[in-house]
Amino acid sequence: MYRRLPLLVLALVSLYACSKSPPDSLPSAALAASADGPPRYDAELVYVDFAARDPRALEKYRQGPFIVTGRLQKIHIVGAGELQLDLKAADPAHPVRVWLKSDPACAGGRDCPEQVALDTLPRGFKVYLECERATLQNGMPTVADCVLTGAPGRAS
């Protein structure tokens, strides 16, 4: 019995050492995921961050690019080639306003291809936008200089 005691102690020490070491694959996978592209924020998170008015949380919206995802609530045609989208937020009465970049090719009253495509989208359609900055305008979180990068699915 005493001959097996050193083996048992060695096994316990090895198990203890292995359980205390952090997994090395997790941090590298997390770093790789964040290095794939610009950060992604849901419209509800944008709303919550701006409602809290925490300067540290708002710093990430000062410079882009970043991706904003959300469910389409309303489309506003402001002028020739200019569109605003309202995305659903945590409070449906207070959406997140998105300003799409105006396309000079759409000036002169011609229909912009992006505008025509957006007009056909139903409410609740999930959109992905690449944006440059976000601010608080007239009490409404407003994301500006955005381009539509995709619209993969409808709300279920």
**Do both 20 and 95 map to the same domain?**
no
CATH code: domain of residue 111? 2.40.50.140
pLDDT surpassing 70 at residue 144? yes
Give the Cα separation of 16 and 21 in Å (integer).
9
Count of C-beta atoms within a 10 Å radius of residue 147: 14
pLDDT surpassing 50 at residue 5? no
Assign 153 to helix, strand or coil: strand
To the nearest 10°, the Cα dihedral for 43, 46, 50, 53?
150
Look at the chain and report how many structural domains it folds into.
2
**Do both 55 and 30 map to the same domain?**
no
Residue 17: pLDDT band (50, 70, 90) is very low
Mean pLDDT score across all residues of the chain = 73
Q: How large is the average pLDDT for residues 84-113? A: 75
Q: Domain limits at 17?
A: 5-34
**Do both 26 and 96 map to the same domain?**
no
**Do both 16 and 51 map to the same domain?**
no
First to last CA, the chain: 65
User: Lowest mean pLDDT: which of 28-37, 52-61, 78-87, 105-114?
Assistant: 28-37
Residue with the bigger pLDDT between 116 and 64: it is 64
Q: What percent of the chain has pLDDT over 90?
A: 26
**How high is the pLDDT of residue 93?**
79
Count of C-beta atoms within a 10 Å radius of residue 28: 10
Residue whose pair of structure tokens reads 């959109």 in the numeric block: 127
The strand pairing partners of 153, in sequence order, are 126
Residue 35: pLDDT band (50, 70, 90) is low
User: What are the tens digits of pLDDT across the range 67-76?
Assistant: 999 999 988 8
